[in-house]
Amino acid sequence: MRPKLPRIVFAALALFTLSGCSDYHVIKSDVAISPAASGTDSLPLIVGVKVVGQSLSGGFIDMGPAFASRLSGARLFKTVLYPVKPSDNPAVVLEVNFSGKHVGDSSSFAKGFFTGIFLFFPAPAVEYEDHYISTAVVIVTKGGQQLKSYSAGSDVLVESKLFASDADIQRAGVTVSTNGVMDRIIAQLYNDRAFFSGLYSESQRGK
């Protein structure tokens, strides 16, 4: 008759196996681009932000407020209006379309089955990959006429272990992806300062 494994030894092995199975880390699969700092003054242009469409799932929420807030913080324009009211009269309107989705690990079932077959001992070495993908399209309009468009995307990878919190993974992935796409699209607007400066000059000549 084989000797039974003492409970304390089994508990120690289980603890060793499961330790490190609840961590996760975010991998930015594309380089983050932040709006460049500038010592120049904000353009005295009144800009309205209008969200014309959003396709959001996987934990992503309304991106309009975050975009307007980050655009205002970039100090490209002196005044950013959001939401745009009927009584407002912005010189330029940015029509924005956002999307955000979660793409889970396609091999999660196979990884879970493999881990379970071996009584969870491989768990510390098995990682699950979740992608949080967001896009933004901005169309610059003036008097209802489309003048220019910009687009950007952010694909963020979150690697996690078996017992990592789904809520924490989702929160991290959504936050980093959202911030990334905002920074990218605002950087494009910021780097096109000459274009917006020209719009301001036109608005002044029209007075």
Closest CA to 68 of 54, 82, 78, 56: 82
Say what the pLDDT of residue 5 is. Answer: 38
**φ, ψ for residue 82, nearest 5 deg:** -160, 130
Q: Residue 104, SS3?
A: coil
Query: And the tokens for 129?
Result: 């990959």
Residue 91 identity: A
pLDDT in tens, the chain (207 residues): 333 434 433 343 444 444 455 566 677 655 555 555 555 788 999 999 999 999 999 999 999 999 999 999 988 998 999 999 989 989 999 999 999 999 987 566 556 545 556 555 555 555 778 899 999 999 999 988 999 999 999 999 988 676 668 899 899 999 999 999 999 999 999 999 999 998 866 666 555
What is the chain's Cα-based Rg?
Answer: 24
d(CA 30, CA 178): 13
C-beta of residue 195 within 8 angstroms of C-beta of residue 47: no
Question: Cβ distance 132 to 174 under 8 Å?
Answer: yes
End-to-end CA separation in angstroms for the chain = 99
Q: Please state the pTM of the whole predicted model.
A: 0.79
